[in-house]
Chain A
Amino acid sequence: MNARILKLDEYLVDEEPFYQATSDEIAIFEAAYVNGLPLLLKGPTGCGKTRFMEYMAWRLKRPLITVSCHDDLTASDLVGRYLVKGGETVWVDGPLTQAVRSGGICYLDEIVEARKDTMVVIHPLADDRRVLPIEKLGSMIEATPEFCLTISYNPGYQSVLKDLKQSTRQRFVALEFDYPGVGLETAIVSRESGIDSETAAKLIKFAGMTRNLKGSGLEEGASTRLLVHAGKLIVSGITPVSACRGAIAQALTDDPDMLAAVNELSSSIF
């Protein structure tokens, strides 16, 4: 029945990813992992959640299977489905099933974006049953002890639709992510992009300004990711003001006044 043999190695993280811890998140993750508890990473986009998962997968030597959720993602996309190949029906495991079978770490990024029926398959995995029901096969698979379910969620979007239900939330050990402090963030940005720490510090000052604008014109301030992008442009010879304009301001808003305001802020810093 298992037509496709999972190539575990593909999902192993071979080299140590650079991850700058900001608090005790590594210890908590490890403790949750050994106890078979699922995790919820909360926090705004671009503050290191994905990188953290890569790092933990490397540390724990488990394959990492990441799914970015979107509004067309259904339960079958996660669990698996029958396909017809050369006149035969073949069952193909979805990523979640692959992770459950192989004892990998499954990371469902931005879980609230997915369709509601996906929660139905996640819930039995996230409590102490640790099983995955596969309706199509009429079977349940029990997760191996190595399997780990992690989901992420951005509480910043103030919308009822995009809220995580209590019944889901309460099954997970939550880790809160936020922008690292000025010192750490400077270190991360200069290491990731290769710019000198003085320019990195200015980028972080600029990010602070955009974060002040959260709720008064911007939905979200500049994330660490955007700073890394701007830093890379600067290393390639783009002027800092243009880099901020292209890699940060345009990513934050389309509103012409806000764009102009954000650009005025960056040009006053550099």
Chain B
Amino acid sequence: MCVRIPAGSRCNTMHDALSLKDRLDQILEVEYTFRSTATPVAAIGELPLAERRYAIDWVERVASTNIELGYQYACRVSEALAGMDQHQVEAWALHAMDTYDREGLRPALEVIRRLDRFARERHERASGCVLEEKRGILHGFLQGLSGRRLKLEESDQIYTDTETLYLPPVLARLPDENDNFILYKVMMVTLWAQIRYGTFRCPLTEILAKQPDPERFLHLFQALEALRLEALIERELPGLHREMERIRGLPGEAEPAGEWHALRRRLARPGTRVTEAVRLAEEQQQRLEPGQPPPWQGVLQPELVEACMAARLEREKAKFRVTLKLLEDEHEPGRPPGEREKAGGSRFSKRELPAPELPEGMRTEILLDGKPMPLPEEVKGLISSIIVDLGEIPDAYLEPAGPGAYDPALFQDEVTDPDDVWSGVYHEEGAHLYREWDYRRQHYRKNWCAVREKSVTPVYDGFVEETLERYVGLVKHLRRIFEAMRDENRLLKRQNHGDNVDLDALVEALADARDGREMSERLFTRMHRTERNIAVIFMVDMSGSTKGWINDAERESLVLLCESLETLGDRYAIYGFSSITRKRCELYHIKHFDEPYAAEVKARISGIRPHDYTRMGFAIRHLTRVLSEVDARTRVLITLSDGKPDDYDSYRGDYGIEDTRRALIEARREGVHPYCITIDEQARDYLPRLYGPAAYTVIDDVRILPLKVSDIYRRLTT
């Protein structure tokens, strides 16, 4: 039970009418929790009226997430307002709520408790550069550099494991924001250079173990190796190198000592390898001090790197050999396997072509029976990743791997069956994460819904044929309607050229000619064919409430709909949706855009079964994304449902409606036209708010659904 005051009544007079204490008691549910509101009441009571209202409003928003969190926030909000502006106090509250969503109550309370730390970091963020804000640019930049595709993650330490670059979430080391951005770029490039130019092509842990003082050796090695890499960066990315030189000299960085200059020159010679840096470090470790590192320098993590590399080498070798096998079969499907073995040896070979622009100095072609073979993009990526590690494609890799040579788990990196995720401990692997709008908070909950795409299990029971038989008449009627729509073309009159003579124009022109006036040349009619370019997704309610006749009617109407749409030739897809809590939001694929309406799709329609609850926001968000990836002039999302949004974990009432409304606004912003067709009699109360007055229909017989769809189409194309 909940006695929270509904959002609509959160008006100004409210605060004045109720005493501050009553109001806080109510928000913080004192009646049930026996908390004492004395402290917050005293603190908030000190504030001027406008700030008092602001504070109470935010206490209410935070308490809507968690009462204890709201309570702690109430105790400290006036202190926060004393030290930060309202905008920052707001950010603090949101950060606490996001932390709660992500990690739970204890870390969220920690955010409230460590107000000072938040204020300090906030200050850094204001003057510094925030990774999250620049991620798009930095990531794009990183993908442009050659070699392996690398990922970007946040971490307090700067390092790489050879697959991911770890960078700090905020950089405020330099006084200027843009310089901090450049610093990010330089950090990224230096880590990339370690991978690309072979810093890890030597057994570092082994070498370290032999040193008298491994830690000191590592520092020295890192400094020397940095010189080698910098020289390479200078040659490869001179513009970036100039920026490095500029920020190196900024406050706090000492010039390197004289003896380093000689070492730098040695390591800058073209063709110098990592082994030279190792040798110099061994030679110099008794005499030379590593000196002050440049501001972009991170740490080396030899153990992490070696573990990551070992796993990758094995995985990529397997993947490569299995892929060759697939390619071989594809190119010569008819040849019996025995004959191949007789021929002996692999049919694959490689050819290395000089390519001075690459660090390896050559480009590798894969040949099948001595002829170059076009490779799919992902295989090219695999090859460049292998070459980054080994400098070449070793001959052993060119042996295709027969069935059973490897455990498929080794090279399949994704969870293929979404249900597997639930058999173990909960984790979000393989799910798309979508945000959700919390109207009480007036903000999104980030990464809130874990969304997975599954497929409806096909049921081959002749349901479609039966339905078609039952509605022979209707099907014919529908076909006629949709056929007429297909041919809805406009006749253009008085054209310069065209398919037929425009009689009216001709008569006029002849009259003109007889009168001695100039005769018009615009005497034709022409059919203007509106080439249809629509993509539609049907989003079908598969919640538990559809059980019984609604489910039957839904399936029948989908059959009728598909029959009709096939006449039209437009692209359409069908997905079902259902959920049980935010952690289990499911979209059931029934028909993809590219899939023909054939036996399997029909069997999936027959297989549609009611599942759990009706969370709608995630489904709209995900399908909007699917729609925005198809190439079409008009994109339409039609929801078929039997009732309001509703889910087990508080996705009810206003919360569900407001999130759905948000998701629809986002969809429109992406250029998607949303419509809703429902059989919920009460829908008139909330649908206008969601879809606008013109974009929904309440029907009592689901079989007329195709007719409603044809209305929507007509409205869109004329």
Tell whether B661 is near chain A: CB-to-CB under 8 Å. Answer: no
B357, A257: Cβ atoms closer than 8 Å: no
Q: Which among A208, A209, A210, A268 is the interface contact of B239 at CB below 8 angstroms?
A: A268
In the complex, A83 Cα to B136 Cα: how many Å? 55
- Looking at the complex, which one of A182, A216, A262, A268 makes contact with B357 (CB distance below 8 Å)? A182
**The residue from B143, B357, B593 contacting A208, defined by CB atoms under 8 A apart:** B357
* Residues of A bordering B, CB below 8 Å: 71, 76, 81-87, 115, 157, 159-162, 182, 201, 204-205, 208-210, 212-213, 215-217, 241, 257-258, 260-262, 264-270
Q: What are 21 residue pairs bridging A and B, where the CB atoms are less than 8 Å apart in the complex?
A: A81-B497, A83-B521, A84-B519, A84-B521, A84-B523, A86-B519, A159-B631, A160-B593, A160-B594, A201-B357, A204-B357, A210-B144, A212-B145, A213-B144, A215-B377, A216-B149, A261-B137, A261-B138, A261-B144, A265-B144, A268-B243
B181 nearest in chain A by CB position: A264
- The answer to whether residues A115 and B238 also contact, given A82-B497, A85-B521, A262-B144 and a CB cut-off of 8 A, is no
Write out the residue numbers on chain A whose beta carbons fall within 8 Å of the beta carbon of B137: 257, 260-261, 264
Interface size class of chain B, counting residues whose CB lies under 8 Å from the partner chain: 35 or more
Query: Which residues of chain B come closer than 8 Å to A258, judged between CB atoms?
Result: 136, 140
* B225-256 residues at the A interface, CB under 8 angstroms: 237-240, 243
Contact among A84, A213, A241, A269 with B143 in the assembled complex (CB-CB below 8 Å): A213
* Inter-chain contact B143/A212, CB cutoff 8 Å: yes
Contact A217 B631 (CB under 8 A): no
Known A-B contacts A115-B531, A182-B357; the reply to A257 vs B237 at CB < 8 A is: no
Q: What is the bound-complex CA distance between A86 and B357, given in angstroms?
A: 65
Contact with A along B601-631 (1 / 0, CB 8 A): 0000000000000000000000000000011
Chain B residues with CB below 8 A from A209, complex form: 144-146
- In the complex, which residues of chain B have a beta carbon less than 8 angstroms from the beta carbon of A115? 529, 531
Whole-angstrom distance between the Cβ of A136 and the nearest chain B Cβ: 9
Contact residues in B for A215 (Cβ distance below 8 Å): 377
Contacts of A161 in B (CB 8 A): 533, 631-632
Which B residues lie within 8 Å of A213 (CB)?
140, 143-144
Cβ contacts under 8 Å, A266 to chain B: 239
B185 is an interface residue with CB less than 8 A from chain A: yes
Q: Give the complex CA separation of A268 and B181 in angstroms.
A: 14
Asked whether any CB of chain A lies closer than 8 Å to the CB of B571, the reply is yes
The answer for the CA separation of A140 and B563 in the assembled complex, in Å, is 39
Q: Complex formed: what's the CA distance from A208 to B496 in Å?
A: 48
Q: Which of B128-146 contact A (CB under 8 A)?
A: 136-141, 143-146
Q: Is A264 touching B185 in the complex (CB atoms < 8 A)?
A: yes
How far apart are B651's CB and chain A's nearest CB, in angstroms? Answer: 32
A212 to B377, CA, bound (A): 11
Whether, in the assembled complex, B30 has its beta carbon less than 8 Å from a beta carbon of chain A, the answer is no
Measured between alpha carbons, how far is A217 from B239 in the docked complex, in Å?
Answer: 23
Cα distance, A168 to B507, chains bound together (Å): 44
A83 to B631 alpha-carbon distance, docked (Å): 36
| Contact between B521 and A261, CB atoms less than 8 A apart | no
The 7 closest A-B pairs by CB, nearest first: A261-B140, A257-B136, A268-B240, A209-B144, A159-B631, A268-B237, A260-B137
Q: Among the listed B146, B189, B533, B630, which residue makes an inter-chain contact with A212, where contact means beta carbons less than 8 Å apart?
A: B146
Interface centre among A182, A258, A261 (most CB of B within 10 A): A261
